[in-house]
Amino acid sequence: MIENIVRVWEKYWPLFVQGIGMTLLLSAIIVLCGSILGFLIALLRMSKLKVFHIKPLNAIASIYVEIIRGTPMLLQLYFFYFLLPEMLPFMNLPPIVCVTVALCLNSAAYVSEVIRAGIQGIDKGQSEAARSLGLNQRQAMMKVVLPQAIKNILPALGNEFVMMIKDTSLASTFFAGELMTVYKTVSGIVYLPIEPLIIVGIVYLVVTFSLSKLVQLFERRMATA
């Protein structure tokens, strides 16, 4: 088996590297878009902040988060894979776009909870002190609360990036070009299901382990800052 693993890697390593690149690119896009959308959703769900309290939008944001968190990611991928081309038939959307949209929306729901918890974890006295100095609610949030909440939010977003690298493997169902899609391609060529799977598993482990250590280093630096 080891000989087959080495042989498969030597012959098809460019495909695996290409799959790694697509996986990392897809994960970065998802976390970036998910963070922006998640931030907006978090603000909408924080009903105690009257400046962001718009009842219909608060309700919609809450329902959206519960639906996303209460249904499997694979179901969501299928839903958007079939829904978006029907909604936008004139755009001829490729599968990778539909999958990316679904993963971004999924990530946004979880990121919104991370951001909301980070903001609510700041002592209320900080906001009250800012208000006593003449700042309104919006200014207190943007200038006092958010800068402190970032220390709690950024490490969690780093962990979300690591998790998303693994979750992108579900995109292989639609042949999105990431690492598990490469596995399907290579295993179909060499007629060896186990050896390419071991290679992909090792690659995932190396990438996620390295990023996890970077996130831990970042957390320690943030804690001492």
pLDDT digits (tens, 9 = 90+) for 211-223: 888 888 877 777 6
> Are the C-beta atoms of 65 and 132 separated by less than 8 Å?
no
Q: Report the candidate in 197, 182, 199, 163 with the shortest Cα–Cα distance to residue 18.
A: 182
Q: What is the pTM of this model?
A: 0.82
CATH of region 2-224, choose from 1.10.3720.10, 3.40.50.960, 1.10.357.10, 1.20.1090.10: 1.10.3720.10
pLDDT in tens, 116-160: 888 877 777 777 777 777 777 777 777 777 777 777 788 888 888
Angle between helices 194-224 and 179-190 (to 10 degrees): 160
